[in-house]
Amino acid sequence: MTRASAPKPRQPNGASSIYLGKDGRWHGRVTVGVKDDGTPDRRHVGRKTRAEVTKLVRELERQRDKGAVRKAGQSWTVKTWLTHWVENIAAAHVSENTIDGYRVAVNHHLIPGLGSHRLEKLDPEHLERFYKKMQDNGSAAGTAHQAHRTIRTALNEAVRRQHLTANPASIAKAPKVEEEEVEPYTVEEVQHLLAEAAKHRNTARWVIALALGLRQGEVLGMQWDDVDFELGVIRVRRGRLRPRYKHGCGDRCGRKPGFCPQKINTRRETKNAKSRAGQRPIRAPDELLQLLRQHKEEQARERARARDLWTEKGYVFTSPTGEPLNPNTDYHKWKELLKAAGVRDARLHDARHTAATVLLILGVSDAVVDSIMGWEPGKSARMRRRYQHLTSRVLKDTAAKVGGLLWGTEQAEGSTAPDVGQSPVPAELMVHVARLGERRVPFLHREHADEVVTRWSEDWPDHTAEVAEWDRWRWEHQGPAGASAIRDRVPERTVVFHARALFLPGGERAETGVPGQWSVPAWDFETDRYTDRASAWRTARRPGTGQEVEAQVRGTDKAAVEAAFAEACAQAVDRARNPGKYGDTDEW
């Protein structure tokens, strides 16, 4: 009689197991966590020998202990993940123009080139070979770089959701993009363009591009409420979006949606500027303001001719029936204008280059140039460097034609400043310059300058405040702001309320030496502090090692600022805890 064998000791719950199966193969099972339904997440491996299975089990245990085990669920390919990401994740959280760029990169480049790879098997080398192949097949380096940025953003989200343990696009070398040389138009080219533009509808649209450097979307999204003729200010608040159409005929016309006779626009017409730098007031030259007045009168005549066909939406530049201009149509009009004026072919954006170049040559301060051009702090120095590669011809032309660079009212070449011993300058040619700290603000009338100096001194008693008399020639040629900034009335003054908080990466509020809430007096020429909105708020992740998230609110209504501050802090806490959700981990 044989003695019964002792029972095999039971493994504790969650322990790994290795066993020989009935199929003759060795199997291993490792608990790496808990599934969504609460049951243990047991991963299985199988091999021919016990040694092979043991090695795989130990590796799974090490990954589990480091938190690097890929999340259980759908086995993603690059194609399925990119399709899911662009349509179900990105589309709900980025602007219309951004998602258009993502879709082009995903559908036309990334999926055809990389779509069959298993997501977890994608290597940096796959990406680098793909970028090279794109360029070998004729794609520009910028297009390849856009594909790189898109897949890096998409895979960052896959890492955040634990479908990947590391992002290969963050390791792969991005395609090198050569920064293109800026070639502004010469004075003669600008004047040829303006002369030709005067023969067509919407003349002021091209003058604004060449004189103020507004982006295409900013010009086409401008409404009459944004133009203050009394103050001589244009406020940039929104941008025109490219339309996206669907069939209104039930897809029976056989054409593309954009050419359907009954097409329906599925996209909003404009979007608000997304940054404080983008939302900006610009002092317009008097010649441009006069041109806008004429344009408004002409638009009124077009409205009367169109009768009930006219759709009133308040846009400055419209079709003959009041609809906002299509960016694509606007682009083709620019090309036709260049050809008719006999001017070299260039991008529409080169008109913006020209305006920035003019401002820099005239010696306008960096802060004012940044404000006019809508450049973000932190990026503005790099942008200014791009615009400072200027030819001697442009420098010579501009120096000779400072007073009327665009409209041809230049001072005669070779003229110089009046001699010191000349007779006194007539009163109508004087400019009364209020020196307010380091700022100089010109006024047409002495009493306005005196009033601003008196009131500004009460607000800032520790700063210099005085009035100096300049002759107009001196101000136009040596002053920091240019003749277009001369004011004929006392500027507006208001109180701006501020609120600020700083949050650490975990969401805890950081202690800082800056008060949480305060208020300051501000004038409309103090663009760094001024706002005419009841409240406006933003959150931003600070660069550097700390990676704190800052919430900032400002506005003219104290109650609105306090209400907005709570909303801003809530987003800042969420952003501090979930950086990938806001794209903070994507280094564009």
Active-site residue set: 215, 246, 349, 352, 375, 387
CA distances 470 to 409, 424, 490, Å, are 21, 11, 18
245, 269 contact by CB (below 8 A):
no
Determine phi and psi for 166, rounding to 5 degrees: -150, 155
Residue from 347, 155, 345, 327 nearest 258 by CA: 327
Q: Of how many residues is the chain composed?
A: 588
CA 89/CA 102 separation, integer angstroms: 12
Number of other CB atoms surrounding residue 80 within 10 Å: 14
The residue among 159, 160, 156 whose CA lies nearest residue 148 is 156
Contact 417, 383 (CB under 8 A): no
- In degrees and rounded to multiples of 5, residue 511 shows phi and psi of -85, 130
Which has the closest alpha carbon to 358: 325, 312, 406, 295? 406
Q: How far is CA 420 from the centre of its chain?
A: 49
DSSP 186-218: PHHHHHHHHHHHTTSTTHHHHHHHHHH---HHH
Strands 549-555 and 493-503: antiparallel
Query: Residue 460: helix, strand or coil by DSSP?
Result: coil
For residue 527, give every residue at least 6 positions away whose Cβ sits within 8 Å of its Cβ, in sequence order, or none.
280, 281, 367, 371
